[in-house]
Structure 1
Amino acid sequence: MTGGTYSLVLDVARDATVDVGALGALKIPAGTYAYTGNAFGPGGFGRVDRHRELAAGDRDTTHWHVDYLLAHDAASVRDVVTTPGADVECAVAKRLPAGPGDGFGASDCACDGHLAAGVTRDAVAAAHRDALDDVE
C-alpha cells in the first residue's frame, strides 16, 4: 500500500474539550480544522481509513494526537488531501494557520503543531501543492 503525506479536513460541530494524552485538556472551538500527518509506516494510507473509522465510532483505540480529537462525538472527517510518496508533512503544516494546542501532532518534529484552524479543502490542497513544489 502506498504512503505519503495526508491532511484530514475536519469539522468540529460544537465547542469541545479533548484530553490529548500528554498535551492535556485542549479546548477546540467549533469550526473547520486540518490535521496533517504522514503515512509512511506499514499500511501506508490505510492510516487514513483508520482515522475515518475512529471518527465514525467504528474503532476506539487512540495512537496519535488527532485520534483523541476524532474520538470526540463533535468531530468528523469532511475530506482528505494526500500527496503520495512525498514527505512534506511539516512543510504543509507550516503553510496553514495555527490551530489550538502547541505541539499537537508534532511530538516527533520541531513544528509548533500540525493542527490548523479555519481552513478550507482548497487551502489545504494548495498547501500540499506548494510544499511539493518546494521539494521538487
Structure 2
Amino acid sequence: MKLFTKPQLKKLLENSWDINEDKDHPPVVKLFMTGTNCTWLLSELDPETQDIAFGLCDLGMGFPELGYVSLSEVKSAEGASRFLERDQHFEGEFPLSVYARAARYYEHIVTDREIVKKFVPN
C-alpha cells in the first residue's frame, strides 16, 4: 500500500508551501505501525525530498508531540510483525493543534470525532 494517495500527496505538499507562520492545517493522513502503539497524523510534506513530514507524532511512550519525522527512517523500522500502514478511513476534521491538545491529555493520539471536538477552543 502506498503511504499517500495522489490527492493526499497533493494536499501535503500544498500545506508545506503555506508560509503563514500561524498555519494550523488539519492532518491529511494518519499513519500507524502495526504491532506497536506508534501513530502519526501528518499535515505537511517537504516538497524537495518528500521524505520529511510534519505532524503529530506518537511513538507510544505517552508523550505525543508536534514535530518532523523522516518517513524513510520510520519505514526502516518495519520488520516481521511491524508494517507502516495508512488509515484508509481517517479524515482530519480539526486543526492539528486540536488533535495535539487531545493527545497530550490522553497521552496518545486520539482521532474519535466526539472526543477530539471537546478540545476545540471556544
TM-score category (smaller protein): 0.3 to 0.5
Tell me which protein shows more strand as a share of its residues. Answer: 1
- What is the TM-score when the length of structure 2 is the normalising length? 0.40
**More contact order relative to length (CA 8 Å, sep ≥ 6):** 1
Scaled by the length of structure 1, what TM-score is found?
A: 0.37
